[in-house]
Amino acid sequence: MSSPSKRRDMDVMKLMMSDYTVETINDGITEFNVEFHGPKESLYEGGVWKIRVELPDAYPYKSPSIGFLNKIFHPNVDELSGSVCLDVINQSWSPMFDLLNVFEVFLPQLLLYPNPSDPLNGDAASLMMKDKNQYEQKVKEYCERYAKKENIIGTPKDESDEEISEEDFSGQSDSDDEVVGHADP
Protein backbone atom coordinates (compact mmCIF):
# COMPACT_ATOMS: atom_id res chain seq x y z
CA MET A 1 0.00 0.00 0.00
CA SER A 2 2.97 2.33 0.33
CA SER A 3 3.46 2.42 -3.45
CA PRO A 4 0.05 4.01 -4.24
CA SER A 5 0.60 6.36 -1.28
CA LYS A 6 4.00 7.49 -2.57
CA ARG A 7 2.63 7.90 -6.07
CA ARG A 8 -0.31 9.94 -4.77
CA ASP A 9 2.05 12.21 -2.81
CA MET A 10 4.33 12.61 -5.83
CA ASP A 11 1.43 13.43 -8.20
CA VAL A 12 -0.04 16.00 -5.81
CA MET A 13 3.40 17.60 -5.36
CA LYS A 14 3.91 17.71 -9.16
CA LEU A 15 0.57 19.46 -9.52
CA MET A 16 1.42 21.93 -6.74
CA MET A 17 4.80 22.71 -8.32
CA SER A 18 3.24 23.31 -11.74
CA ASP A 19 1.45 26.48 -12.83
CA TYR A 20 -1.80 25.41 -11.14
CA THR A 21 -3.06 26.96 -7.92
CA VAL A 22 -3.85 24.09 -5.54
CA GLU A 23 -5.89 24.63 -2.37
CA THR A 24 -5.72 21.72 0.03
CA ILE A 25 -8.68 20.47 2.08
CA ASN A 26 -8.43 18.52 5.35
CA ASP A 27 -5.26 16.39 5.15
CA GLY A 28 -4.25 18.00 1.88
CA ILE A 29 -3.35 14.83 0.03
CA THR A 30 -6.63 13.16 -0.88
CA GLU A 31 -8.93 16.16 -1.32
CA PHE A 32 -8.11 19.53 -2.84
CA ASN A 33 -9.28 22.23 -5.25
CA VAL A 34 -7.41 23.31 -8.36
CA GLU A 35 -7.77 26.57 -10.27
CA PHE A 36 -8.40 25.69 -13.90
CA HIS A 37 -8.42 28.12 -16.83
CA GLY A 38 -10.44 27.51 -19.99
CA PRO A 39 -8.29 26.44 -22.94
CA LYS A 40 -7.15 29.01 -25.48
CA GLU A 41 -9.14 29.23 -28.69
CA SER A 42 -12.20 27.65 -27.08
CA LEU A 43 -15.57 29.03 -26.04
CA TYR A 44 -14.29 28.74 -22.47
CA GLU A 45 -11.16 30.86 -22.99
CA GLY A 46 -10.89 33.45 -20.23
CA GLY A 47 -13.00 31.40 -17.83
CA VAL A 48 -11.62 30.29 -14.47
CA TRP A 49 -13.05 27.34 -12.56
CA LYS A 50 -12.37 25.77 -9.22
CA ILE A 51 -12.14 22.01 -9.70
CA ARG A 52 -12.63 19.66 -6.74
CA VAL A 53 -10.35 16.63 -6.85
CA GLU A 54 -10.81 13.63 -4.57
CA LEU A 55 -8.24 10.87 -4.73
CA PRO A 56 -9.37 7.38 -3.71
CA ASP A 57 -7.15 5.23 -1.46
CA ALA A 58 -6.32 3.07 -4.48
CA TYR A 59 -5.08 6.01 -6.60
CA PRO A 60 -3.40 5.76 -9.17
CA TYR A 61 -5.02 2.38 -9.81
CA LYS A 62 -8.45 3.95 -9.35
CA SER A 63 -9.29 7.26 -11.04
CA PRO A 64 -9.71 10.55 -9.19
CA SER A 65 -13.17 12.10 -8.80
CA ILE A 66 -13.31 15.43 -10.61
CA GLY A 67 -16.00 18.09 -10.32
CA PHE A 68 -16.51 21.75 -11.24
CA LEU A 69 -17.38 23.85 -8.19
CA ASN A 70 -18.55 26.92 -10.08
CA LYS A 71 -21.10 26.61 -12.86
CA ILE A 72 -20.22 25.74 -16.42
CA PHE A 73 -22.56 25.22 -19.38
CA HIS A 74 -21.30 22.07 -21.09
CA PRO A 75 -23.01 18.90 -22.36
CA ASN A 76 -20.65 16.63 -20.40
CA VAL A 77 -20.72 18.45 -17.05
CA ASP A 78 -23.71 18.15 -14.73
CA GLU A 79 -24.91 21.70 -14.05
CA LEU A 80 -26.00 21.03 -10.45
CA SER A 81 -23.31 18.70 -9.12
CA GLY A 82 -20.40 19.73 -11.36
CA SER A 83 -19.70 16.05 -12.09
CA VAL A 84 -17.72 15.39 -15.24
CA CYS A 85 -18.63 12.79 -17.85
CA LEU A 86 -15.23 11.99 -19.29
CA ASP A 87 -14.49 8.47 -20.48
CA VAL A 88 -10.77 8.62 -19.73
CA ILE A 89 -11.48 9.48 -16.08
CA ASN A 90 -14.60 7.38 -15.54
CA GLN A 91 -13.98 4.20 -17.57
CA SER A 92 -10.56 3.95 -19.18
CA TRP A 93 -8.35 5.38 -16.44
CA SER A 94 -4.86 3.91 -16.27
CA PRO A 95 -2.15 4.21 -13.59
CA MET A 96 0.02 5.62 -16.39
CA PHE A 97 -2.03 8.82 -16.16
CA ASP A 98 -1.38 11.42 -13.47
CA LEU A 99 -3.03 14.58 -12.16
CA LEU A 100 -1.17 16.79 -14.63
CA ASN A 101 -2.75 14.75 -17.46
CA VAL A 102 -6.17 15.58 -16.03
CA PHE A 103 -5.53 19.34 -16.06
CA GLU A 104 -3.25 19.66 -19.09
CA VAL A 105 -4.94 17.20 -21.45
CA PHE A 106 -8.24 15.63 -20.33
CA LEU A 107 -10.16 18.70 -19.11
CA PRO A 108 -8.95 20.98 -21.93
CA GLN A 109 -9.96 18.29 -24.47
CA LEU A 110 -13.36 18.01 -22.80
CA LEU A 111 -13.95 21.76 -23.16
CA LEU A 112 -12.57 21.91 -26.69
CA TYR A 113 -14.52 18.89 -27.96
CA PRO A 114 -17.85 18.44 -26.12
CA ASN A 115 -19.74 15.22 -26.81
CA PRO A 116 -23.49 15.98 -26.99
CA SER A 117 -24.31 12.32 -27.69
CA ASP A 118 -23.27 11.30 -24.12
CA PRO A 119 -24.60 14.20 -22.03
CA LEU A 120 -24.81 14.90 -18.32
CA ASN A 121 -26.45 18.23 -19.15
CA GLY A 122 -29.27 17.44 -21.58
CA ASP A 123 -30.16 21.11 -22.08
CA ALA A 124 -26.62 21.97 -23.17
CA ALA A 125 -26.42 18.92 -25.45
CA SER A 126 -29.78 19.66 -27.05
CA LEU A 127 -28.99 23.34 -27.58
CA MET A 128 -25.56 22.49 -29.02
CA MET A 129 -27.14 20.16 -31.60
CA LYS A 130 -30.15 22.35 -32.46
CA ASP A 131 -28.77 25.90 -32.35
CA LYS A 132 -24.98 26.16 -32.25
CA ASN A 133 -25.01 29.98 -32.11
CA GLN A 134 -27.39 30.09 -29.15
CA TYR A 135 -25.34 27.36 -27.42
CA GLU A 136 -22.13 29.35 -27.90
CA GLN A 137 -23.82 32.48 -26.55
CA LYS A 138 -25.00 30.62 -23.44
CA VAL A 139 -21.51 29.18 -22.83
CA LYS A 140 -20.08 32.71 -23.01
CA GLU A 141 -22.81 34.05 -20.67
CA TYR A 142 -21.96 31.35 -18.09
CA CYS A 143 -18.27 32.17 -18.41
CA GLU A 144 -18.99 35.86 -17.79
CA ARG A 145 -21.32 35.19 -14.89
CA TYR A 146 -19.72 32.26 -13.06
CA ALA A 147 -16.16 31.71 -14.34
CA LYS A 148 -14.23 34.78 -13.25
CA LYS A 149 -11.27 34.75 -10.89
CA GLU A 150 -13.22 36.66 -8.23
CA ASN A 151 -15.92 33.95 -8.34
CA ILE A 152 -13.60 31.22 -7.09
CA ILE A 153 -11.48 32.94 -4.44
CA GLY A 154 -12.19 31.61 -0.97
CA THR A 155 -15.45 29.86 -1.76
CA PRO A 156 -15.62 26.07 -1.57
CA LYS A 157 -19.15 26.02 -3.01
CA ASP A 158 -20.79 27.19 -6.17
CA GLU A 159 -20.71 30.93 -6.86
CA SER A 160 -24.50 31.18 -6.56
CA ASP A 161 -24.07 30.99 -2.77
CA GLU A 162 -22.54 34.47 -2.76
CA GLU A 163 -25.29 35.92 -4.94
CA ILE A 164 -28.02 35.08 -2.44
CA SER A 165 -28.46 37.77 0.18
CA GLU A 166 -29.69 36.75 3.61
CA GLU A 167 -33.16 38.22 3.06
CA ASP A 168 -33.43 36.44 -0.32
CA PHE A 169 -32.31 33.11 1.09
CA SER A 170 -34.98 30.46 1.36
CA GLY A 171 -34.75 26.84 2.37
CA GLN A 172 -35.75 25.82 -1.17
CA SER A 173 -32.33 26.59 -2.64
CA ASP A 174 -30.61 24.78 0.23
CA SER A 175 -30.81 21.37 -1.43
CA ASP A 176 -29.23 22.74 -4.62
CA ASP A 177 -26.40 24.29 -2.64
CA GLU A 178 -25.62 21.00 -0.94
CA VAL A 179 -25.34 19.13 -4.23
CA VAL A 180 -23.09 21.64 -5.96
CA GLY A 181 -19.39 20.92 -5.75
CA HIS A 182 -19.46 17.30 -4.68
CA ALA A 183 -17.28 15.29 -7.04
CA ASP A 184 -18.77 12.13 -8.49
CA PRO A 185 -17.57 9.07 -6.51
- Residue 183 CA, distance from chain mean position: 8
Asked whether the whole model's pTM tops 0.85, one would answer: no
22-24, strands of its sheet edge to edge = 22-24, 31-37, 48-54, 65-68
Whether 157 maps to a domain, the answer reads no
Pick 118 or 170 by higher pLDDT: 118
Q: Treating both helix axes as pointing N-terminal to C-terminal, what angle do 122-130 and 132-146 enclose, rounded to 10 degrees?
A: 140
Q: What are 14-30's pLDDT values in tens digits?
A: 999 998 999 999 866 89
Which residue in 15, 72, 77, 85 is the catalytic one? Answer: 85
Residue 68 falls inside a structural domain: yes
C-alpha span between 67 and 166 (Å, rounded):
27
Confidence of residue 57 (pLDDT cuts 50, 70, 90): very high
The pLDDT, as a whole number, for residue 5 is 86
Q: Is 182 part of a structural domain of the chain?
A: no
User: Residue 141 domain-assigned?
Assistant: yes
Q: CA 85 to CA 72: how far, in whole Å?
A: 13
8 in any annotated domain: yes
**Mean pLDDT in residue range 83-106:** 90
143 is an active site residue: no
Domain contains 175 = no
What average pLDDT does the chain have?
83
CATH code for the domain in which residue 104 is found: 3.10.110.10
Helix (H) or strand (E) holding 65: strand 65-68
Q: 146, 147, 136, 133: which is closest to 43 by C-alpha?
A: 136
Give a yes or no: residue 110 inside a domain.
Answer: yes
- Tell me if 108 is assigned to some domain: yes
Going by C-beta distance under 8 Å and a sequence separation of 6 or more, which residues neighbour residue 132? none
| 8 Å CB contact between 125 and 88 | no
Number of domains, the chain: 1
Domain span holding position 96: 4-151
